[in-house]
Structure 1
Amino acid sequence: MRRDTRSGLLDAAQIRLAEHGYAGTSIRDLAADVGIKESSVYKHFRSKQALLEGVLERAEERVAATAQALGVSVDDPDAAASTYATIDLGHLTAVAEGFLQMWLHDEEFVALRRLLTLEQYRTPAAGTLLRQLVVTQPLAFQSQIFARLIDAGAFRPANPEATALAFWGPVLAILTLAGEQRAEAEARRLLGIHLEHFRATHVTDAATQGEES
């Protein structure tokens, strides 16, 4: 029952935060939505910010599940590097488009992303979580992956952080284009161009020949 109540509070928080914002959402209202006493909320979450963080954690679980379905990892840099060391352009494109699909069409993820985007200037906690979701975590993880790929000779020598920026910066711009202008077809076209260019720039000839053989 504890797990069901916790999930119910996360569901209620996601809905209310999206509709009323962080400041307009109260613990009392969330408790009423779930049918429990206000004091009972604190058995599951110590504060409203903890609830917001819980919503983010659940979104990250959806990202991990999406990655698993696409045959990649977003939480184990060694496993991810092993996959990307031998991935061909077709599979890489399928992975990128799978994440684009989630970014644009997964209702739970979209709701959280929009909430954090709207709240980032009014609520410091929301701004921190948004940067964590779309900037700091991806860059840190990708830096670890590229460091391993460079050490293994699959990528040309370079600064791993700079390589991560070269990869994620355009991806983030493309995601913004697709989300704000609803230009999904154009976003997919640009994503393909970016992936092909990035591979041509950073993947070594030996790694490319290994894929073709």
Structure 2
Amino acid sequence: MAEGTKERILRTALELFAQNGYLGTSMNDIAGQLGITKAALYKHYASKQEILDKIVERMNKMDYERAEAYEMPETEPDGFAEAYLHTPIQKIRTYSLAQFDHWTKEPFSSNFRKMLTLEQYRDSKLAQLHHDYLAGGPLEYMAAIFRKLADSDEEAMQLALEFYGPMYLLYSVYDGAEEKESVSSLLATHIDRFIAKVEAGYRSEAAGTAVLSRRNNG
């Protein structure tokens, strides 16, 4: 029973954080929304910071499990260069669509995203979380994966920006859309066009290399 109560507190607190911001929500607000006393709330969590820490812990666990389920390299780049090199682009497509669903359709993750979007300009620690989960972190992750497609780190980052930039934009588009599935379709189309462009570049490069090789051998 106590475990169920702690879970309900986390989800209710995160809903309030997504609506009013982390800074704009008090322990009194959380207790009131739950219909319990503030003293009862403190029996489960000593502070609002502890609630946030548990939420972040949950998000980290969910990220790890999702990457493992889709056979993606772990998020820490050190020691995983070889794994990045063997990540097929179709696997990246499947994982990216799952990521979008995770951040838009799964209530816990969606509320976490909305909280970070609200607070990114008001609190440095939450700004860092926004960077790690939604902005620079995913961009750097995709750049590491696309490194095998590029001739330099700069080109890999440009590919990652071209790939992830629209995905990041579509999070906000999804929130305000009446036909939400159409937004998911937009993302799928974007990813398919990106893949087609990359594969066309590979074929062109391979053809050019073959022509050059024949000339050199001739």
| 1:117 Cα deviation from its structure 2 partner | 1.0
Q: Is the 8 A contact 2:117 2:130 kept in 1?
A: yes
Give the 3-state SS of the residue equivalent to 2:115 in structure 1: helix
| 1:2 Cα deviation from its structure 2 partner | 6.8
Q: Is the 8 A contact 1:22 1:119 kept in 2?
A: yes
Q: Is the 8 A contact 2:27 2:48 kept in 1?
A: yes
Using the aligned pairs only, state the percent identity: 21
CA–CA distance in structure 2, aligned partners of residues 163 and 57 of structure 1 = 33
Q: What is the aligned-residue RMSD (CA, Å)?
A: 3.7
| Residue pairs, 1:121-200, within 5 angstroms | 121-139=121-139, 141=141, 145=144, 157-159=151-153, 162=154, 165-182=157-174, 183-198=183-198
Which segments of 5 or more consecutive residues in structure 1 lack a partner in the other structure? 206-213
- Which amino acid is 1:112 matched to? F
- Who is 2:104 aligned against? 104
When normalised by structure 1's length, the TM-score is 0.68
**Cα deviation code 1:97-129 (max 9, x no counterpart):** 222222332221111111221232344443232
- Which amino acid is 1:170 matched to? E
CA–CA distance in structure 2, aligned partners of residues 135 and 178 of structure 1 = 13
- Which amino acid is 1:171 matched to? F
Q: Is the 8 A contact 1:22 1:123 kept in 2?
A: no
Give the 3-state SS of the residue equivalent to 2:152 in structure 1: coil
| Residue pairs, 1:36-55, within 5 angstroms | 38=39, 41=42, 44-45=45-46, 47-55=47-55
Give the 3-state SS of the residue equivalent to 2:66 in structure 1: helix
- Which amino acid is 2:171 matched to? G
The alpha-carbon distance between structure 1 residues 186 and 37, as it changes in their structure 2 partners (threshold 3 A), is: closer
Which segments of 5 or more consecutive residues in structure 2 lack a partner in the other structure? 175-182, 207-218
The alpha-carbon distance between structure 1 residues 42 and 81, as it changes in their structure 2 partners (threshold 3 A), is: farther
The alpha-carbon distance between structure 1 residues 191 and 156, as it changes in their structure 2 partners (threshold 3 A), is: closer
CA–CA distance in structure 1, aligned partners of residues 107 and 170 of structure 2 = 15
The alpha-carbon distance between structure 1 residues 173 and 142, as it changes in their structure 2 partners (threshold 3 A), is: closer
The alpha-carbon distance between structure 1 residues 52 and 199, as it changes in their structure 2 partners (threshold 3 A), is: farther
| 1:40 Cα deviation from its structure 2 partner | 6.4
Q: Is the 8 A contact 2:11 2:108 kept in 1?
A: no
CA–CA distance in structure 1, aligned partners of residues 198 and 80 of structure 2 = 17
The alpha-carbon distance between structure 1 residues 163 and 142, as it changes in their structure 2 partners (threshold 3 A), is: farther
CA–CA distance in structure 1, aligned partners of residues 131 and 4 of structure 2 = 29
**Cα deviation code 1:28-72 (max 9, x no counterpart):** 343463846548638745x42443343233223222222222122
| Residue pairs, 1:52-71, within 5 angstroms | 52-71=52-71
* Count of paired positions: 196
- Who is 2:17 aligned against? 17
When normalised by structure 2's length, the TM-score is 0.67
CA–CA distance in structure 1, aligned partners of residues 125 and 9 of structure 2 = 19
Give the 3-state SS of the residue equivalent to 1:15 in structure 2: helix
- Which amino acid is 2:184 matched to? E
| 1:89 Cα deviation from its structure 2 partner | 3.3
Give the 3-state SS of the residue equivalent to 1:60 in structure 2: helix
